[in-house]
Structure 1
């Protein structure tokens, strides 16, 4: 059966080079196959030591969920998606040549479909990612869908006040596993007061609002996938000068991260019971409350 084509609007991207799915087809009721092309030489989705970019898996999960909501379940373009959580496990790092092709097949099972009136209002997506016949990751996420009118009621004051403020200077790119200043999402922050649960590391969230991938369309808050990338960078900064190659990620989005208010990014090391395994808990706090969290388990190695 041929694949249905994918246009950039279905995955909420403006730049065609940032679109990962290239085709999709149904397999059975609420089950789908999506063909994804992981980019080569992309300035943001860059490999580290031959490992496929950590943020590609999360972005693949996000785009595949958006694609199916629109193409398979008839959610109109212009509706807003609120992701509550995302989790996945992936293979340890391996040389780039081991992947062979950059084409990834994603098998998706959709469940817990909830309607608001006649429209899809929420669903879970569980995904298996395969390349060259080998499973490279398993994971998924849960999201709600709201109409433009409902979103305006939820976010009206914030939409009107969503100006992008001047950002603090970033930490050096190498400290977070990056090479370009524009990709760095952390700024230095003062050390917190000593306490029994003091964080291992602490930074301020910052961003380049002209970034062509992270801000390819207007937002009234920091995008969720930017927060995921900030968590990866905080994990790298925690083990610097080594890099943290995570093999599992569990992310929870607890609220909107607003412009104009400082968001503190904190990391804590958590026990794993395995000497070779490092677990780093990342928490984002804004206005005195947690707004997102991530638990990244993996290994640390020199970059």
Structure 2
């Protein structure tokens, strides 16, 4: 994009991010956005950096570029801009409607992103306001490494006052909210087939249990370690979108490994739609179906639906690509 190629970044005047509350974070280990600068009212540049050996974002079955890490960088940029540049208070809730994210076709996702500066160009559009309160905004977000565009993210997000959000949530639930810091987790509750491939190695990063193969799909149940800071940096009243996306990624790895047992897969594209909140007090069923497989390249396309109380609360279509030796 124009901002990356026309600006001398060595002489660029950045705003350093010092208050991690503007990113909705409590733990420094989960902060990747380092600096940001406004080019105009709807055009921004940000910079993110991942240090070596993060317990979640460095956890891969094979050396690869983590699309989920870039997604989190984009989410942090969106959060920071809403508060810092659009002057929205910290006590508002972000309601994600959908996102679409993919690596560029020319980018080979066979390298680690650790120790690399990620430049992020953010363009906002289609805003809706009520006086000085931001109600809705869309984002086109571009990711660069060494001035080469590697990925693009599109976001649609609503914003709501905290008191209105709480009233709607409790009215919909017909009961008081439950928070993640009240919940317990035991790894011994997890049941997965032996030698299963989920794209993650660390047990604390696994998201699924009770996997079952059926004639035309794979089913599982969501099971999350609530002490995992990458999933629950701070208390939540529902399973965050990033957790659902990770669960979709992991079951897609599992499906792909059953189709092509000797392949090495990496997530390269994801499209998600979020419809209802994923509540803590009811099981979330994860259903994955293989949509298409490329016999030559051995790439797979998987549709994942998240079901709770017999309703679809979210759905995602994911593409996993086979890394060639």
Q: Give TM-score scaled by structure 1 length.
A: 0.89
Does the 8 Å CA contact 1:186/1:206 hold for their aligned counterparts?
A: yes
Deviations 1:222-275 (A, max 9, x none): 011011111110111112354431221111111100012111111111136774
> In structure 2, what is the equivalent of residue 122 of structure 1?
136
Does the 8 Å CA contact 1:47/1:53 hold for their aligned counterparts?
A: no
Residue 39 of structure 2 is aligned with which of 27, 34, 44? 27
For the residues of structure 2 that align with 1:38 and 1:191, how far apart are their CA atoms? Answer: 37
Does the 8 Å CA contact 2:50/2:115 hold for their aligned counterparts?
A: no
For the residues of structure 2 that align with 1:81 and 1:173, how far apart are their CA atoms? Answer: 38
Does the 8 Å CA contact 1:173/1:179 hold for their aligned counterparts?
A: no
> In structure 1, what is the equivalent of residue 243 of structure 2?
226
Correspondence list, 1:174-189, <5 A: 175-189=197-211
For the residues of structure 2 that align with 1:102 and 1:281, how far apart are their CA atoms? Answer: 32
Correspondence list, 1:49-128, <5 A: 49-90=62-103, 91-96=107-112, 102-128=116-142
Q: Secondary structure at the residue paired with 2:166?
A: helix
Does the 8 Å CA contact 2:110/2:323 hold for their aligned counterparts?
A: no
The alpha-carbon deviation at position 153 of structure 1 amounts to 0.9
Note closer, same or farther for the CA distance 1:301–1:136 as it changes in structure 2 (3 Å cut): closer
Does the 8 Å CA contact 2:50/2:114 hold for their aligned counterparts?
A: no
For the residues of structure 1 that align with 2:196 and 2:42, how far apart are their CA atoms? Answer: 43
The alpha-carbon deviation at position 62 of structure 1 amounts to 1.1
Note closer, same or farther for the CA distance 1:148–1:271 as it changes in structure 2 (3 Å cut): same
The alpha-carbon deviation at position 140 of structure 1 amounts to 2.1
> In structure 1, what is the equivalent of residue 183 of structure 2?
164
For the residues of structure 2 that align with 1:215 and 1:252, how far apart are their CA atoms? Answer: 21
User: Where in structure 2 are there 5+ consecutive unaligned residues?
Assistant: 1-11
The alpha-carbon deviation at position 34 of structure 1 amounts to 0.5
The alpha-carbon deviation at position 164 of structure 1 amounts to 2.8
User: Where in structure 1 are there 5+ consecutive unaligned residues?
Assistant: none
For the residues of structure 2 that align with 1:183 and 1:302, how far apart are their CA atoms? Answer: 26
For the residues of structure 1 that align with 2:72 and 2:176, how far apart are their CA atoms? Answer: 28
> In structure 1, what is the equivalent of residue 7 of structure 2?
none
Does the 8 Å CA contact 1:269/1:281 hold for their aligned counterparts?
A: yes
Does the 8 Å CA contact 1:30/1:111 hold for their aligned counterparts?
A: yes
Q: How many residues align?
A: 296
Does the 8 Å CA contact 1:92/1:245 hold for their aligned counterparts?
A: no
The alpha-carbon deviation at position 144 of structure 1 amounts to 0.6
Residue 2 of structure 1 is aligned with which of 13, 16, 19? 13
For the residues of structure 2 that align with 1:119 and 1:164, how far apart are their CA atoms? Answer: 34
Q: Cα RMSD over matched residues?
A: 2.4
Q: Does 1:246 align with 2:267?
A: yes
Q: Does 1:262 align with 2:262?
A: no
Does the 8 Å CA contact 2:58/2:114 hold for their aligned counterparts?
A: no
> In structure 1, what is the equivalent of residue 169 of structure 2?
155
Does the 8 Å CA contact 1:88/1:137 hold for their aligned counterparts?
A: yes
Does the 8 Å CA contact 2:255/2:288 hold for their aligned counterparts?
A: yes
For the residues of structure 2 that align with 1:173 and 1:118, how far apart are their CA atoms? Answer: 54
Correspondence list, 1:283-302, <5 A: 283-300=305-322
For the residues of structure 1 that align with 2:265 and 2:121, how far apart are their CA atoms? Answer: 28
The alpha-carbon deviation at position 127 of structure 1 amounts to 0.8
